[in-house]
Chains A and B, each alone.
Chain A
Amino acid sequence: MIEVRGISKRYRDVMAVDGLSFDVRPGVVTGFLGPNGAGKTTTMRVILGLDAPASGDALVLGVRYAALPAPMRAVGALLDSGAAHPGRTARDHLVCLADSNGIGRRRVDEVLGLAGLSSVAGRRAGTFSLGMRQRLGIAAALLGDPAVLIFDEPVNGLDPEGILWIRTLMRDLAAEGRTVLVSSHLMGEMALTADHLVMIGRGRLIADTSVEDVLRAREVHVRTPEARRFAHALTAMGAAVRQDGEELTIAGVTPEEVGRLAADESVVLHELTPRRTSLEDAFMELTRADVEFGAAR
């Protein structure tokens, strides 16, 4: 359980976070979505007590982070790709962190195994690939077997196998009843990983909604020579359909459901196109503005 209560944070003349409030519930993966520079990392740093907010408060399990009796046993975090000193071995890196919370050596070896790093535990972190460093950071987050997990852009720079591993891990952690907050600037990644979305732009909350609602709000555009028959079938399924000659605009069902129905009803389709929702449009608009801003600089 994480409660963010109206936090604001300014860096010189940039308002990084501006009166942001949201809750992160246990048992689901909450995606923290926003373009680069939207304030995701800052918000996470405030939750972890690394940066002090100008106003507002962030509570983890009902208290401020610094008040947690054994922080790593409550919260596991991956920030800055879990930076490790390049001269320290993977195992020593974890031992240093484990010691600070009275976590034993056996647990260190356990998380090395969980992260698939047992065979390289004695290697210096400086020799690790980005993917291995990411795994080491996640091993560190898991050290205290925490109830809350916070991952900042965990799939950045990972190969497909690594992305799949992290995605599965996050879903498993949430299924065990843990609170999982994971940030990303990619809508597609979040649609696959998260159950719930907290979307921010320029430090402000844009949406706090379930992923399913976002996807269900999509319109599907279909072109078929059997438009009339298909429209009836779709309406019978509960979809809202608008017909214009051979073209149908469908709302209230997912593209997958439309495709399956077409197969079941043996309807020939010439085109099936999901259309972005207003929420996705809003996000794309933000991302685009961000890119333009970056290019103009």
Chain B
Amino acid sequence: MTATTGRDLTSVVARGRARFRDVLRSEWSKARTLRSTWIALVALVLVGVLLTALFAGAAGQDHGGSDEAAHPFDWVFRGFVIVQLVAGYFGARAVTVEYATGTMGGSLTAAPRRGRVLAAKAAVYAAMALVAGWVAAVTMFLTARAVLAAKGLPFFALTDPGVARALAGVGLHMALTSLFGLAIGLLVRTTTGSVTVLFLVSLLIPALSSLFPAWLATFAVKYFPTTAGGRLVSLNEGPALLPPWAGFAVFCAYIAVLLTAALVVFRRRDA
């Protein structure tokens, strides 16, 4: 009986070994074969363009903007805060859809090494969010320029200091935010739950920071995950703010911790 077992396994091994690139390919197939994936990505770009058109259209008026949006570039690109919600939702979907449709069991039967599955999902979704973020950045930039030109207002050139970095930053920020969503999605397992957490973290808490006690408000403006990450998409500078790449690094650290937590839970939990 043992001999049979051994021979069976040998023949199975001889028939191939699933590698990381196979799992990666599977995750890409899963993502691209769902219409909702593409709808989410198109929505990401559209939301960016529409909000940019709105903010650019309101430029030059007395809008009483807060200090953090004082820089004209930041004002026009303010919509990216909402765009990041879409990116987070996009990342959460990578897992919540599988839990909702009961396909996670099948996925983990096909690829039982869960660390690999998480890594493959992260790579595929971050890459898609990165490209979509860059497309959004370019179209937002062109939209802003067109709207402002129509109003006879000046706008930045790509060659102005920081502008290229800020535009590239939109893609990087969206990629990271999708990973943020992925980690939340794994921890929470439902789409609505994930979106609620994303909404609280990326919009509500930063918006309420002026109501916090001073020490907490200072921390929130400087080190809160999404505000730190958003530094890359900002031309503002000041002692209360982290330098762009330092902010980005802080955001990366948050994502790393969250993804690690998600991995630990994902590995331990019954599928």
- Contact residues of A with B, CB < 8 Å? 1, 26, 45, 48-52, 61-63, 65-66, 68-75, 77, 79-80, 82-89, 92, 95-97, 99-102, 140, 147
Contacts and interface: CB of A to CB of B under 8 A. Distances in A.
A83 B105 CA distance: 8
A100 B8 contact: no
A72 B101 CA distance: 21
Contacts of A72: 18, 109-110
A32 B23 CA distance: 32
Contact of B12 (A50, A68, A97): A68
Given A62-B6, A84-B106, 18 more contacts: A45-B271, A48-B112, A49-B112, A50-B105, A50-B108, A51-B271, A52-B270, A71-B18, A79-B109, A80-B105, A83-B106, A87-B35, A87-B36, A97-B106, A97-B107, A99-B25, A100-B107, A140-B106
Given A1-B4, A1-B5, A140-B106, A83 B270 contact: no
Contact of B18 (A50, A65, A100): A100
Contacts of A73: 12, 15-16
A170 to B, nearest CB: 19
B112 A63 contact: no
B106 A79 contact: yes
B34 A88 contact: yes
A39 to B, nearest CB: 14
A89 B1 CA distance: 41
Given A26-B4, A96-B33, A140-B106, A45 B270 contact: yes
Contact of B5 (A62, A65, A66, A84): A62
B17 A70 contact: yes
Nearest to A73: B15
Contacts of B108: 49-50
Contacts of B23: 100
B103 A83 contact: yes
Given A62-B9, A101-B110, A79 B105 contact: yes
Given A45-B270, A70-B12, A71-B110, A102 B18 contact: yes
A72 B4 CA distance: 19
A168 B241 CA distance: 70
Given A61-B5, A69-B17, A86 B101 contact: yes
A99 B22 contact: yes
B151 interface: no
Contact of A85 (B4, B5, B11, B34): B34
Q: Which of A97, A99, A147 has the most CB of B within 10 A?
A: A99
A1 B28 CA distance: 33
Contacts of B113: 66
B111 interface: yes
22 contacts: A1-B1, A49-B112, A50-B109, A61-B9, A62-B9, A66-B113, A68-B112, A69-B16, A70-B16, A70-B18, A80-B105, A84-B101, A84-B103, A87-B35, A89-B33, A92-B33, A99-B22, A99-B29, A100-B23, A100-B26, A100-B111, A147-B12
B97 interface: yes
Contacts of B60: none
Contact of A102 (B1, B12, B19, B102): B19
A65 B112 CA distance: 8
B16 A102 contact: yes
Interface in B2-57: 2, 4-6, 8-9, 11-13, 15-19, 22-23, 25-26, 28-30, 33-36
A79 B108 CA distance: 12
B110 A100 contact: yes
A80 B104 CA distance: 11
A163 B5 CA distance: 31
Contacts of A65: 112
Contacts of B12: 61, 68-70, 73-74, 147
Contact of B103 (A52, A85, A101): A85
A101 B29 CA distance: 13
Contacts of A69: 12-13, 16-18
A1 B8 contact: yes
Minimum-distance CB pairs A-B, first 3: A100-B26, A83-B102, A99-B26
A203 to B, nearest CB: 16
A230 B194 CA distance: 75
Contacts of B106: 79-80, 82-84, 97, 140
Contacts of A62: 2, 5-6, 8-9
